[in-house]
Amino acid sequence: MNTPHGVWLDDLTRQEATSRFAGNAVVVIPVAGGSDLPVHLPLKAPAVIVRALAQKLVEQLDLVVAPVIEAESRVLTVHIEKLQRLGARRLAVLELRLWAGTSCEVSGDVLKVPVCDRSDDDEYATSCMMALDPRSVRMPLLPAGSCAQAFDGERRMAAEVEAVAGVLVSKWPDLICR
C-alpha cells in the first residue's frame, strides 16, 4: 500500500499498518511534555502543539505518525516495543521539549528529534496556542510584557516542521517531501 503522503497510525487497520512497516515506513512518535506549564496555558498545550507539528509532517512526508503520548520514558519504551512487534524498523521520536525535565530516553536505534529546545519556552508555547486554540489561552493571566502572538506561533511552528523534515529526510533519504 503506497500512498504519496503520510498517515496517522490510528487511521490504519492492523493489516495496513503491518503492510506499511514491511515496506520500511518511517514511524514518528510525537511526545508531549511539560510539567511546569505557565498559569495562562491549559494542561493540553504540549499535546496540542506536538500534534499540530506532527500533522504538518503527515502533510509533507510519506510516513506513519503514531498517536501523541506523554513524555514518560517507561511509557515511550512500551510504545516503541509495541510498534517494533508490529514490524516497525525505522522509528523517530518527535519530542516537544517545553520547560525543564521533559526529555525522555530512547534506544540508539531510534532517532530522537527534539522540538523547541530553547530558553523561550513560554513565549513559544503561548504563541503556538494562540495560533492553534486561542480561546484556551487565559489572556488575563499572561505575564506583563509578553510578546506572544498567533502569527509568531504559526511562523515558528512552520520553521520547526521544516527543520524536523530536514532531519528525517537526511536520516532516511527515501522519504518523499511534499
Q: What is the pLDDT of residue 34?
A: 66
Q: Residue 178 above 60 pLDDT?
A: no
Least confident of 18-22, 33-37, 93-97, 123-127: 33-37
How big is the chain by its Cα radius of gyration, in Å?
16
Distant-in-sequence, close-in-space partners of 19: CB < 8 Å, separation ≥ 6:
1
The closest of 30, 31, 33 to 99, measured between CA atoms, is 33
| CATH fold label, 7-118+160-171 | Rossmann fold (3.40.50)
6-16 residue pLDDT tens: 999 999 999 99
Boundaries of every domain in the chain = 7-118+160-171
Q: Looking at residue 105, what is its pLDDT?
A: 74
| Mean pLDDT calculated for residue range 137-147 | 91
Position 170 pLDDT exceeds 80? yes
User: From CA 148, how far away is CA 157, in angstroms rounded?
Assistant: 13
128-139 per-position pLDDT tens digit: 999 999 999 999
pLDDT at 172 over 90: yes
CB 54 within 8 A of CB 65: yes
